[in-house]
Amino acid sequence: MSDQAAAARMHETSAESTATVDVVLDYARRRALFEDVPLDEPRAREELERVASGSITDGGIGAQRAIDLFEHVLAPACITTDHPGYLSFIPSAPTKAALSFDTVVSASSVYGGSWMEGAGAVFAENEVLHWLAHEFGLPAAAGGVFVQGGTIGNLSALVAARDRARRRHREAGTRAPERWVVVCSSEAHSSIASAADIMDVDVRTAAAGADGRLSGDAVAAVLDECGDAVFAVVATGGTTNFGIVDDIASIAELTRARDVWLHIDGAYGLAAMLVPRTRGLFDGVQHADSVIVDPHKWLFAPFDACALLYRDPAGARAAHTQRAEYLDHLTDKPDWNPSDLAVQLTRRARGLPLWFSLATHGTQQYRDAVEHGIVLARDIADEIARRPALGLVREPQLSVVVFRREGWTLADYQDWSDRLLESQKGFVVPSSHAGEPVLRFAIISPMTTMGLLVEILDTLE
């Protein structure tokens, strides 16, 4: 067989190809429809080397053996993030509609970087982005792009913010600062410092209050000190560790008065703006220059998707559009090209699973699902407060509950966490606050129940 024939064999439509697709889709269907999702747990590298090595061979092992290896060895070595007992970090709980349509996105070979190549996909993604922009109070002209995750979203927004500041200096004929500065809370997500490091700019933190919230007064003190070196202020719409929302209204008033770019990192918490009872916490978001929210967190989409929105997309295009001879056919047109709005060129149409799920279920079911986590967090916080051996570290604002087991050390917490995972009841890892080890429940899944959380609390007695 010639090299060309051998290469073509992988792609041809044949009985073998049909069988491969059937094997994969059969497993995907069974996995998507699991009623009792296993939590599972990681395995040691040595164990996986012993039982899973040797799958890559010259002749291949065949689709059935490969899928069996994944189903029975590799997948069980991964903790299931959509399990109702997965309460660590920020879980994921994609709808069945979003999960299944993610398969369609891959099968369709859709390229989501340009309008010319993916107009239908980009249009559908933009339907979701426009809905989110409306929910956040942004103007009708706002728009954006789905990127990989919050880290890329924050980086892309800050690149656009710095580009605007640079342009202003050039247009005014003034000298730019030797070092640019981004201001954020002492409780901001680690991705802000990471973005600043990549951009080679400085981070100045403004102290959050005792309640964990950043206020305009704290930001003003830093702006007074740093002057026009500050190209952006980042406020957080739901911190990862506590789910605390900054005093965005006072920060927005300040940044508008001083004409400084305001970015809202709402990767986890901004979805709570869909719920009337918590919408008021986010007053001021409507004045932001850019915002992010991660649908793979609290908007029930599969990994990976971050919605990045700009008040003025033209500024983002000026910062991010890549120029090259082979791209002239794209960049010389007024089309809406997602690749012009973030630090990426090639991109998957990762917003489509969320579009399909929203179109299937409607927005009210999304509001109800987000509200479930907020109500459940309040209920379990009240239960924690009733137990003498436990204590709340802070009252929850959204769906994260941080608490302590009185008298326990970090080693005690870790031993308990290991036993809990081994029991397959839940996955709760220790966190920390002000040097103290603590526990936290991050409640996302509508399948998480009060009964399950109480069972977990009982194991702490």
pLDDT at 325: 75
Backbone angles phi, psi at 114, to 5 degrees: -140, 155
447-460 b/e (C-beta count within 10 Å ≥ 16 → b) = ebeeebbeebbeeb
Burial of 33 from C-beta contacts in 10 A (0-12 / 13-18 / 19+): exposed
* 350, 148 contact by CB (below 8 A): yes
Task: Give me the CATH code for the 363-458 domain, please.
Answer: 3.90.1150.170
- What pTM was computed for the model? 0.95
Q: Which pLDDT tens digit goes with each residue over 355-389? A: 999 999 999 999 999 999 999 999 999 999 999 99
Tokens of 264: 């809202």
Q: Which pLDDT tens digit goes with each residue over 311-351? A: 999 999 999 998 877 777 777 777 899 999 999 999 999 99
Q: Which pLDDT tens digit goes with each residue over 168-221? A: 999 999 999 999 999 999 999 999 999 999 999 999 999 999 999 999 999 999
pLDDT at 9: 64
pLDDT at 247: 98
Burial of 434 from C-beta contacts in 10 A (0-12 / 13-18 / 19+): exposed
β-strand pairing of 230-236 with 202-206: unpaired
CATH architecture of 110-351: 3-Layer(aba) Sandwich (3.40)
DSSP 8-class letter at 70:
I
Report residue 259's pLDDT band, with 50, 70 and 90 as the boundaries.
Answer: very high
Measured CA to CA, the distance from residue 117 to residue 345 in angstroms comes to 13
